[in-house]
């Protein structure tokens, strides 16, 4: 399967996915068609290039969402992705974008998307002193973090007394779960959450 990985920042999930494609659980299952950013100077874009991935970008600053997304769709379609994998892509996708890749757009969120949507999920977990957060991989629909859940994995936050520690624990699970969920999806094994309309099987 061909992956288009979209990011706006650091790109640690992108790195984990590229590693999984090159030497891990996605080896032989997936290839990175392109790493795309709406921020041409995103650190993750340079990292992707250094890892040997094709890269592309379009600056979203000051652009109208629908217009910008139509251009992004055109750019991505040139790379013929099977899946569009959001990895810290800080844009809400317009209906035009969703429809172009419907059912094939994935996102990862640092919390249970039934409990928390949008930005700052680790801050939310930390400030509310939650005993755990549930890393969630879900399909993207037209809402904000509302699409069907594909996989979830809890992370214990007990004893995590700084935000940095909360993020460190969470990101380690994000990096594992995203690649494994994609591998499972690509192999067309049963999806892991009833919302996705398939039987329940643990991801890990």
Which residues belong to the annotated binding site?
Answer: 11-13, 65, 90-93, 107
Residue with the two structure tokens 């329940």: 200
Q: Which DSSP letter does residue 168 get?
A: H
By CB under 6 A, tell whether 109 contacts ligand GRF: yes
| CB nearer ligand GRF, residue 72 or residue 78 | 72
Residue selected from 3, 4, 6, 7 as contacting ligand GRF according to rule CB under 6 A: 7
Check if 109 is active-site.
yes
111, two tokens: 């919390």
Least gap, CB of 203 to ligand GRF (angstroms): 16
Least gap, CB of 199 to ligand GRF (angstroms): 26
Q: What is the C-alpha to C-alpha distance for residues 135 and 113, in angstroms, rounded to an integer?
A: 9
| CA distances to 4, 5, 16, 47 from 79, in Å | 8, 11, 21, 19
Residue with the two structure tokens 């099977």: 82
By CB under 6 A, tell whether 147 contacts ligand GRF: no
Residue selected from 76, 105, 116, 174 as contacting ligand GRF according to rule CB under 6 A: 174
Contact of 166 with 144, CB cutoff 8 Å: no
Residue selected from 3, 29, 108, 130 as contacting ligand GRF according to rule CB under 6 A: 108
- Collapsing DSSP to helix, strand or coil, 195 comes out as helix
96, two tokens: 């035009």
Residues serving a catalytic function are 109
The residues that touch ligand GRF, with contacts defined as CB under 6 A, are: 7, 9-13, 44, 87-88, 108-110, 174
């Amino acid at each position: 399967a061909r992956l288009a990985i979209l990011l706006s920042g650091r790109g640690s999930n992108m790195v984990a996915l590229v590693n999984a494609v090159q030497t891990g659980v996605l080896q032989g299952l997936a290839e990175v068609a392109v790493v795309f950013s709406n921020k041409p100077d995103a650190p993750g874009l340079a990292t992707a290039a250094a890892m040997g991935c094709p890269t592309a970008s379009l600056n979203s600053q000051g652009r109208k969402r629908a217009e910008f997304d139509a251009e992004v769709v055109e750019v991505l379609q040139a790379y013929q992705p099977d899946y569009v994998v959001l990895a810290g892509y800080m844009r809400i996708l317009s209906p035009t974008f969703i429809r172009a890749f419907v059912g094939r757009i994935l996102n990862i969120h640092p919390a249970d998307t039934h409990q928390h949507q949008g930005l700052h999920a680790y801050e939310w977990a930390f400030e509310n002193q939650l005993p755990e957060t549930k890393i969630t991989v879900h399909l993207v629909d037209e809402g904000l973090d509302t699409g069907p859940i594909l996989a979830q994995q809890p992370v214990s936050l007990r004893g995590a007394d700084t935000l940095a520690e909360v993020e460190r624990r969470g990101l380690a699970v994000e990096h594992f779960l995203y690649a494994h969920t994609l591998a499972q999806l690509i192999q067309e094994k049963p999806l892991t959450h009833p919302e996705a309309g398939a039987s329940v099987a643990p991801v890990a």
